[in-house]
Amino acid sequence: MTSTATLSRDQGPGGVFRHEALLYRGEREFARGVLAFVEDGVRTAEPILVVVSARKIALLREALGGDADRVEFADMEEVGRNPARIIPAWRDFVQQHLTEGRTVRGVGEPIHPDRTEAELAECHHHESLLNLAFDDAPAWHLLCPYDVNALPASVIDEAHRNHPYIRDQDAERASEHYVHAVERRVPFEGPLPPPPADAPGVSFGTGRLDGLRGFVYSEAAAARLPGARTDDLVLAVNEVATNSLRYGGGQGMLRMWADAEGLVCEIRDGGQFAQPLVGRVRPTGERMGGRGLWLVNQLCDLVQIRSSDEGTVVRLHMWLR
């Protein structure tokens, strides 16, 4: 089998992380493609984690029968609600199971037709950042299914740019369009729709954030965001604004508005992010700085960071659905 030959070349001891898109048309092809990959892993007794929708987990479990017990499953709806939480989940799994001479396998489907434009943009960034996050990692193999029937062609084009390898029902091959995350300046580049012209805003600085927090509380109350989520949003805005005070020139501007999904808070300042994986590396307890955006990713449904030498924009999304 071609696939086995390719795998043994790229994945054995001294191999590298292999990040591969599986292009499928409809549920039957999904099942066939994923099952072949999973069963290969079961045969070689590799630890396997499959993170897809609950519906697809049920589908795979049934098809796998008794072998399902040898596979870990997780609901992408929970793990990847905010796609910035997916890389840490893979890192946890890989670190937990990867031992000398043994590889692990994963299947992750963060992109489905119901994702919004903003979510899609960040899911693509996530896919691209996987290549950076596991650049130096021991060899493991991640397969990312994309539904060619249900997703727009532009999404499939992005899959070709973000995956070094592409597989479909017939064959697997290197992607001709693959570009590494660093070259794409992921996640700091990409358009954001402009805020509504009448979105209220408040500037902050002089070392204080209490007025800013009061503003977020009252705007969230007016938008009927539930209390616990409001507390989360206030803390998240506070952490981003703390970064503005410390690293972003000591001041910034917050604007807040509602969109079709929920509430958006946008913080602008004059700083620039340098680390593409900011907010995606689990704190270890030792280092005292750089924790704000990690926490923000745990609190918010979606976080978008755009940063250049002209300044930084951080958008925090809190769904009302």
Partner 1 sequence: MPAVRSRAVRALDRDVAHVDSTSAVLPGQHVCSIVRHGDRLADRVVAWAREGFAAGERVVCVDGERDEFLQWLADGGVDYPSLLADGSLVVVRPEDAYLVDGAFDLDRRIALQGAFVKQSVADGYPAVRMSSRAVVAVGAFPDIAALVEYETRFEALCQELPVSGLCIYDSDAFLDELPQLTASHPRAVADDQLRCWMERGRVRLAGEADVSNADLVANVLAHTVPTDGSLVLDVGALSFIDVAGVSAFVSTARRLAPAARVTVVNPPPHLRTILTALAWEDEVDVVTGTAT
- Chain residues 113-152 in contact with partner 1, contact rule CB under 8 A: none
Q: Is 95 in the site for partner 1 (CB under 8 A)?
A: no
Q: Which range of residues in 37-45, 153-161, 209-217, 306-314 is near partner 1 by CB under 8 A?
A: 209-217
Local structure of 193: helix, strand or coil:
coil
Site string for partner 1, 271-290 (x = CB under 8 A): -----------xxxx--x--
Q: Is 96 in the site for partner 1 (CB under 8 A)?
A: no
Between CA 271 and CA 311 the distance in angstroms is 5
Query: Among 126, 186, 168, which residue's Cα sits nearest to residue 21?
Result: 168
Q: Is 314 in the site for partner 1 (CB under 8 A)?
A: no
Is 127:110 a contact under the CB 8 Å cutoff? yes
Q: Is 231 in the site for partner 1 (CB under 8 A)?
A: yes
How many chain residues touch partner 1 (CB under 8 A)?
36
Between CA 55 and CA 64 the distance in angstroms is 14
Site string for partner 1, 9-38 (x = CB under 8 A): ------------------------------
User: Whole-number minimum distance, CB 79 to partner 1, in Å?
Assistant: 16
CB of 143 or CB of 220, closer to partner 1? 220
User: Whole-number minimum distance, CB 111 to partner 1, in Å?
Assistant: 26
User: Whole-number minimum distance, CB 234 to partner 1, in Å?
Assistant: 8
Report which residue type is found at 95: Q
Between CA 256 and CA 294 the distance in angstroms is 21
Q: Which range of residues in 7-15, 26-34, 107-115, 206-214 is near partner 1 by CB under 8 A?
A: 206-214
Q: Is 206 in the site for partner 1 (CB under 8 A)?
A: yes
Between CA 220 and CA 265 the distance in angstroms is 10
Contact with partner 1 (CB under 8 A) among 116, 175, 272, 298: 298
Q: Is 321 in the site for partner 1 (CB under 8 A)?
A: no
Contact with partner 1 (CB under 8 A) among 12, 13, 152, 226: 226
Q: Is 220 in the site for partner 1 (CB under 8 A)?
A: yes
Contact with partner 1 (CB under 8 A) among 207, 260, 274, 310: 207
Q: Is 222 in the site for partner 1 (CB under 8 A)?
A: yes
Instruction: List residues binding partner 1 (CB under 8 A).
Output: 206-210, 213-214, 217-218, 220-222, 224, 226-228, 230-231, 234-235, 238-239, 242, 245-246, 282-285, 288, 291-292, 294-295, 298-299
